[in-house]
A and B are shown apart, each in its own frame.
Chain A
Amino acid sequence: MPPLVKKLASAIGLLLAVVVLNFLLIQLAPGDPVSVIVGEMGGASEDLIAQMRAEYGLDKPVWLQLLIYVGKICTGDFGFSYYFKQPVLNLILQRLPATILLVVSALVLAVVIGTLMGIFSAKKPKGILSHFVTIFSLVGYAAPVFWTGLMLLILFASIIPMFPVSGMMNVRGNDTWYGAVLDVLHHLVLPAVTLASIYIATYSRLSRASMLDVLGSDYIRTARAKGLNERRVVFGHALRNGLIPVVTMIGLQFGQLFAGAVLVETVFNWPGLGRLAFESILRRDYPTLLAILFFSAILVMVANILTDLAYGRIDPRIGGPRRKKAKPRAAGATQ
């Protein structure tokens, strides 16, 4: 079986497992969507409750509900949101861009700032900057992301009201398209920084350790001996190898980044998938929640595939077809 087909087959199997497991986990939570809807209605008759349960298929046994659901997913039908009364796909597509914007911005911020901090502290491991990075990493890693968000809100939205409190755009509207773009960026700053904070800590520690390791290796000594300036040594030679653990971490942590987005979106009222997931859990809106989990699983898988591809680009020793041509040790040494 060709590797790509093998990968796809395992991905599909994994997705199916995700769907089944999520479906069963959700069933364990007490209450169902009808109890929430009835609660918000202020009560309802048994007839109406039975009618709603039948309408949503909740009167059927769980295994049958699962079979029906899996069948529908296979045809690309994610169902109808019990609570929001819309096709789930509409809801997800409305919210997906906001989450992608937030997660990607946070990721870029975290990788760029974290790596730069790591590099500069690795250059002088006992310098002030290095100590600062260590302390910053400790605090950044230890602080819960929602707490960081709340602190930033109090500081930069209340005491110094530089940034908006919530949402993605000024609801009063913008006159021009560039005004709208700036408005979104203005709203993005605090949530993106909050979400990035924990990963800046991770990446700075990681790249610091990795760069310390790489900067002590033979080929760097060779590069320096050739008379290359320090900038070329660090950014042209060492960084490429130093980045490998960072790239690995990006792939591994993509799922966690999504989990963080749930909290950040809730704190900042960011209209993304994370907040929708939170609302769906509270309302037991199974179809919406399952679809969000499904899409998250796909995104994490895509991120992992992209990470694999990125390895190949950064380090020719890794990756399928190139492996035969590349000579392991020598490749690193001749960079």
Chain B
Amino acid sequence: MKHFRSSTLAAAVALTLGGLFAPAQAETLVVGTTQVPRHFNGAIQSGIATFMASSQIFASPLRYDGNWNPQPYLAKSWDVSDDGLSVTLHLVEGATFHDGEPITSEDVKFSIMTIKANHPFQTMLAPVVDVETPDPLTAVIKLEKPHPALLLAMSPALMPIIPEHIYGEGDIQQNPANLAPVGSGPFKFVEYKQGEYYKLAKNEDFFLDGLPKMDEVIVQIIGDSANLVLATERGDIDMVPFMSGIRDVQRLEKADNVEVSDAGYDAVGALNWIAFNTKKAPFDNPAVRQAIGYAINKDFILQRLLGGVAKDSTGPITGTSPLATDDVEKYAFDLEKATSLLDEAGLTPDGNGIRLSATIDYIPGSPEIGRNVVEYMRTQLKQVGIELEVRTAPDFPTWAQRIANYDFDMTQDSVYNWGDPVIGVDRTYISSNIRKGVIWSNTQQYSNARVDELLAAAAIETDQTKRAELYKEFQQIVVADAPILYINEVPFYTAYKKGLTHLPDTIWGAVSPWDQVEWSE
């Protein structure tokens, strides 16, 4: 009886409080994220937190579908010259910024030159020399050499068109409009409560008719992913993009009112890998690196540690990219082969069966793909006489400091492709990018003249088939040389409330416009 009373009381209190605080009905989309944006200007800042907001607030020349095909956006059409040295954009007529000012080719020029000068992805627009503006609706991008990556670089996340009359004065890094942006995308910026949420409202004058569908978008920042999952289960949050926690995904898959989808995100292409310091003995010997590759049971990692949620990764280019190849060494689990390679490398076991001792680091913050994988490796590699010491870093700066200054033997790392190899892949392998102190440069200090040649040729090859051939050879060499052992593609999922449709499932996932997202009837 007592139990009945207390549960009835609890239910009554819950109902009362629930009714009291029931959210108002509106075409509102509440998006949950753990990421805190520094600011909202994607022209000068990279990273998911900024890209996600920037893609809603700013429009770009092109956007992409789910199959890597460019689609018109602010540019209703575009032409690439035969020599590949100029790209002409024809802008839509009547498009305006959120403050009512018309968007002209001068704004396109200003945006492209600003991005070239300020964006951290320096290779993205490096070949651009100038942008000509013969009339207000035509912009001609001039290149010093052909640049096939340019079309992908014109995606919403990477090339927001920013108004020159707002961002043209003074130092753009200090421009107050970075935190109160004015763009021309489907949603207008309303307010940002630092670290809590930002609100966006429907752009009634959006240049695409009938879009966006939502009246209001609120992005709520919940730092802890477990809280975010709890809030989503309760129905407080409508959509959670970029979910990568294995247990979080598995938990939400079981929730009654929530759907989970891995559609989209192909271009983001986040890979989880183990990198070697290739200048440090014995890891300067490819045979040792390959031996470790054969000694790891990737199937165990994928199925047991990562619960079958993450896809296998076999090379430097994300599997769904049109430039990826499957025709590479797979490092199938083979302890005998690993042992014989170590023998060949002259690493024979001592009295305790130890052939070599080394350290392994991991990025703090993603225990499932980081700590768990390296802990598994520590145990697993004992079987071939390799003793690993796992070094824990308390936070990102500590880890970054070690890796960027080559103070490591092996490390787990997650690095993103960002669409085209020129933007996100070359940096890891090209020898001119061995730059001490710079994280996510070629911190492996890997150097192979043929790889440099292939990457330079592929960067300017406009024929897609020939380009894919060049990248195929690159992938085969890099996988065989094994400066990096590829473990898995970091799974990105979108969790969303049942009834929500037309989710952002293009190759850019949630860093593309959410203009079509709507509630079904």
Contacts and interface: CB of A to CB of B under 8 A. Distances in A.
Interface stretch (A4-12, A111-119, A123-131, A158-166): A158-166
Interface size class of B (residues with CB under 8 A): 35 or more
A229 interface: no
Contact of B440 (A43, A86, A160, A284): A43
A172 B28 contact: yes
Contacts of A166: 222, 224, 227, 231
Interface stretch (A28-36, A213-221, A231-239): A28-36
A191 B418 CA distance: 40
Interface stretch (A68-76, A195-203, A252-260, A264-272): A264-272
Contacts of A161: 14, 18, 234
Interface string A30-56: 111001111111111110110000010
Interface in B450-494: none
Contact of A42 (B179, B218, B395, B416): B416
B224 A85 contact: no
A27 interface: no
Given A84-B38, A171-B197, A282 B439 contact: no
Contact of B439 (A43, A95, A266): A43
Contacts, number: 162
A190 to B, nearest CB: 12
B179 A86 contact: yes
Nearest to A162: B14
B23 A42 contact: no
A249 to B, nearest CB: 31
Contacts of B439: 35, 38-39, 43
B14 A271 contact: no
B45 interface: yes
A136 interface: no
Contacts of B36: 279
A35 B400 contact: yes
A48 B437 CA distance: 12
Interface stretch (B91-99, B188-196, B347-355): B188-196
A153 B404 CA distance: 39
B38 A269 contact: no
B227 A165 contact: yes
A167 B196 contact: yes
Contacts of B427: 43
Nearest to A94: B194
A61 interface: no
Contact of A172 (B24, B222, B435, B440): B24
Which has the most chain B C-beta neighbours within 10 Å: A94, A172, A282?
A172
20 contacts: A30-B401, A31-B395, A31-B398, A35-B404, A41-B46, A43-B438, A44-B122, A85-B174, A85-B179, A86-B179, A153-B230, A158-B230, A161-B234, A163-B17, A165-B236, A166-B231, A172-B23, A172-B30, A183-B21, A283-B397
